[in-house]
Amino acid sequence: MKHIFSILFLLIASISFANKTSVTILIDPGHGGKDPGHLPLTDTLMQEKDIALEIAMKIGGYLTYNLSNVVVMYTRQSDVYPTLDYRVEMANNNKVDYMLSLHVNGSPNSAVYGTETHIHNYDAKASYKWAQLIEKQFKARAGRKSRGVKTAADIGHSLQILKHTKMPTVLVECGFITNTAEGRYLNSPYGQEIIASAVFRATREFIKSKHSGIDFSPPQDLTDQPDQPHYKVQIMASIDEIATDIREFTKLGFDVERVLVESSSMYKYKYYVGPFDTKKEAKKAQKSVQSNGYKDAFIVYFE
Ligand SMILES: [Zn+2]
């Protein structure tokens, strides 16, 4: 009898105190299939369901390839419609640690634009923190207009995903497709990359703060083979190819070079200005592009 108790105790102890070694995130691209979500201003632009899927897959890619010990699941990875019940059950039955739902907003008033992150209520402390980090990234790093964190009370009704999931859950509205400028941004691979990387950064900061015992160090990157000695300033990286003659690049006053990366990393393309012969010139260029919105631009030395 004594034995049974001690075995039972050991079992309970090992379950309660087991060191968590990985984190699971369920990514939920809103709508899909028969449900297009919000509709764009013109038929040539993407519907909410398609933009949500693009951004969701990019976020999943960033998390998978830039962090160790993060498992990413999706409620859908193609143009199909899982019901809201199915999405909630998938989160709860798999006991995922976090759920991230991606949407794009719409309004009869085309002047309305900006991002919102929804949580069930302010008592959901972890969700609230995560949501705040996402809106902070949208504003500070992605240069979007943040409309802030919203709860069921703020919008006057509960969102099923937020109400019934048992883990920290946020629902991100990445912008309004009914606003001409923001709609265009959300339709561009550039805009989708920036939005996705903002959500990724916020999520990385959030899960790192929640799991100090897990090593999230990224896998080794094997990029950037040596060339002639010079400096370049990397302004961004992307999964999908972005044209280098878009306004976001031409406004910099430097030619932007796109380099295809042969690497284990998820980022397939890197974007540089340069080359510069001296570090001083590179620093000057770095300051210039940083003040033009590429706050994370950094100098790379090529031997
Ligand atoms: Zn939606």
- Domains of the chain plus CATH, in order, are 22-210 (3.40.630.40), 230-302 (3.30.70)
Please give the distance, rounded to the nearest whole angstrom, from the Cα atom of residue 34 to the centre of ligand 1. Answer: 13
Instruction: Strand 70-74: give its sheet, edge to edge.
Output: 70-74, 23-29, 98-105, 169-176, 115-118, 146-150
Q: What is the pLDDT of residue 224?
A: 45
Q: How far apart are CA 301 and CA 61, in angstroms?
A: 27
Nearest to 153 by CA among 195, 121, 125: 121
Between 156 and 243, whose confidence is greater? 243
Please give the distance, rounded to the nearest whole angstrom, from the Cα atom of residue 105 to the centre of ligand 1. Answer: 6
Please give the distance, rounded to the nearest whole angstrom, from the Cα atom of residue 144 to the centre of ligand 1. Answer: 19
Please give the distance, rounded to the nearest whole angstrom, from the Cα atom of residue 173 to the centre of ligand 1. Answer: 7
Model confidence pLDDT, tens digit, residues 137-176: 999 989 999 999 999 888 888 889 899 999 999 999 999 9
DSSP letter (8 states) at residue 32: B
Q: Is the pLDDT of residue 267 over 70?
A: yes
Nearest to 139 by CA among 202, 51, 190: 202
Q: Which residues lie below 8 Å from residue 275, measured CB to CB, with a gap of 6+?
A: 228, 230, 231, 232, 302
Please give the distance, rounded to the nearest whole angstrom, from the Cα atom of residue 133 to the centre of ligand 1. Answer: 21
Q: What is the pLDDT of residue 17?
A: 44
Please give the distance, rounded to the nearest whole angstrom, from the Cα atom of residue 64 to the centre of ligand 1. Answer: 24
Please give the distance, rounded to the nearest whole angstrom, from the Cα atom of residue 188 to the centre of ligand 1. Answer: 19
Element (H, E) at 27: strand 23-29
- The beta strand positions in 76-159, using DSSP E, are 98-105, 115-118, 146-150
Nearest to 117 by CA among 79, 78, 85, 155: 155
